[in-house]
Amino acid sequence: MMATDAVGGSQIDVQSLVSQLVTAERARPEALLASEAGRVTTQISGLGQLMGALTTFRSALSSLNTLEVFSTRSAVSSQDSLLGASASGKAVPGTYDIEILQLAQAQQISSGVFAEGAAGLVGTGTLTLSLGERSFEVEITAAGSSLGDIRDAINSAAGNVGVRATLVQGGDGSRLVLSSAATGAANTITVTQSGGDGGLAPLEYSDSSPGGYALVKAAQDAIVNIANAQTTSADNTIANAIDGVTLTLKQPTSEEGGPVTLTIDYDQTAVTARIKSFVNAYNALVSQVTTLRSYDTATATAGPMLGDSLLNSIEAELRRSLSAVVPGQAPEFATLAAVGITTQANGTLGVDEAKLQKALSGNFEAVGKLFGSQDGIGARLFAQVDTRLKSDGALETRGKNLVDQQRAITRRKEDLDARMLVIQQAYLRQFTRLDILLSQLQVTSSYLSQQIESLGNLNKASS
């Protein structure tokens, strides 16, 4: 505070003084709220990291938690250029010699030549085209009676059952080529005409009466011999000629090349990849858990879930399941360790590849039961993790509680801001009144000083 002359008034910086007082008053509660907010945010982040790792682990388990996922089979053809194949879980491992006598083929026919080409007029009437037992009609009017118009009318017909028309140009004119969209001996093309001026007669065709058409490709079924059994198919994909196997025929076999050898086996490669994915996901989960419950003595920094009972219970539950014995299994297939998957000193899992492959080769079904049976390790772990991650589970409940705490802290911050505003206004009123009072005192003091000085001057003058 500093005195001034009569016209200057008080020099108290009211705004600065009030600001400093309010800042000092709010410092402690604001620091407490910031500390609580930081703690809750850290816990939410840690919980999110844990739930993310558990979700990834559950995804890896979903490919090992039922016996059905162990039903994958591999189908290997000795000549991929001739035969492709896929196998379902119903396929029984075995080797089959397959002869492909002929491929399924779609019929194609070519009409006689029309010397005037696409623009040449053919005739009017109704064309009825059939593909096997299905047929459709095309009305040809005088305005659309050229060869090109007839091609377009066939292709755009609403009821077209799979007959495709095109024109092939030659030195002597154009030909109408009709192709079946479907392979198989039953899918033969028939063309009849009726009504009109009779000009459509050259377009009639049947197998018994081809007219002016030439047969370019015959409609035929695929024929294969498998284990002395002959199988026919309307197309080149044949399902269940061998139980659970789908064959894709590409080229006929020859006497010189011999039959194609098809080998159906358990898909050890796919299952091995799934098991490794499970191990990697578990190890990532262990790494995440280790971080969450860590403590750095050098910096005195604790992980966000250090000492958390929920984290400890999840970790203990998973470890118990990993080391459990699956009932009903032979000893060499009853535990993960028995098939080459063991727990390392740091808590992660390691895989003895040779031991795992030996187990899969020795008894593929038993390895499947170790993971995917009702009491299998994969099924048990999946159920445990899934329960933890459910919407009403402990993790979700913890998350909701933390979010509620966050909201409560936000409300307390708002309350603090409102309270500080009230205090600020009170201080402003108090110090403003004080400032006015001091200004008035300064004016009074100045006035009295002037009066005293005047009296002194009068006394000097009278003497």
Label residue 381 left, alpha or beta by phi (over 0 means left) and psi (-120 to 50 means alpha): alpha
The pLDDT value recorded for residue 322 is 92
Beta bridge partners of 163: 180
* Residues across the chain: 463
Query: What residue ranges do the domains of the chain occupy?
Result: 11-72+268-443, 73-104+222-266, 108-217
Global confidence as pTM: 0.63
Helix axes of 364-372 and 377-389: crossing angle, nearest 10 degrees? 20
Q: Where are the beta strands (DSSP E) in 227-292?
A: 229-233, 237-242, 245-249, 260-266
Contact (Cβ atoms closer than 8 angstroms) between residue 85 and residue 262 = yes
Any residues with CB less than 8 A from the CB of 272 and at least 6 apart, and which? 356, 357, 360
Mark residue 258 as left, alpha or beta (left: phi above 0; alpha: psi -120 to 50; beta: remaining).
left
Q: What is the DSSP annotation of 210-227?
A: -TT-EEEE--B-EEEEET
Instruction: Note whether 446 and 5 are within 8 A (CB).
Output: yes
Which pair of tokens denotes residue 107?
A: 């019929």
3-state secondary structure of 315: helix
What integer pLDDT is reported at residue 462 of this predicted model?
66
Give the per-residue pLDDT at 442: 74
Per residue of the chain (463 residues), what is the pLDDT tens digit? 343 343 344 566 778 888 888 888 888 998 998 889 988 888 888 889 999 999 999 998 988 888 888 888 999 999 999 999 999 888 999 999 999 999 999 999 999 999 999 999 999 999 999 999 999 999 999 999 999 999 999 999 999 999 999 999 999 999 999 999 999 999 999 999 999 999 999 999 999 999 999 999 999 999 999 998 999 999 999 998 999 999 999 999 998 889 999 999 999 998 999 999 999 999 999 999 998 888 888 888 888 888 889 899 999 999 999 999 999 999 999 999 999 999 999 999 999 999 999 999 999 999 999 999 989 999 999 999 999 998 888 888 888 998 999 999 999 999 989 998 998 888 888 878 887 777 777 777 777 787 777 777 777 766 6
298-337: buried (b, 16+ CB within 10 Å) or exposed (e) per residue?
A: eeeeebbbeebeebeebbebbeebbebebeebeeebbbbe
- What distance in Å separates the CA atoms of residue 155 and residue 45, rounded to the nearest whole number? 62
Cα atoms in the 13 Å half-sphere on the side-chain side of 92: 4
Alpha carbons 458 and 450: distance in angstroms, whole number: 12
Each residue of 29-57: b (16+ CB within 10 Å) or e?
Answer: eeeebeeebeebeebbebbebbbebbebb
- The reported pLDDT for the residue numbered 418 is 92
**Integer distance in angstroms from the first to the last C-alpha of the chain?**
41
Output DSSP code: residue 208. Answer: S
To which residue do tokens 């092939």 refer? 168
Residue 349 per-residue DSSP state: E
How many CB atoms sit inside 10 A of residue 351's CB? 18
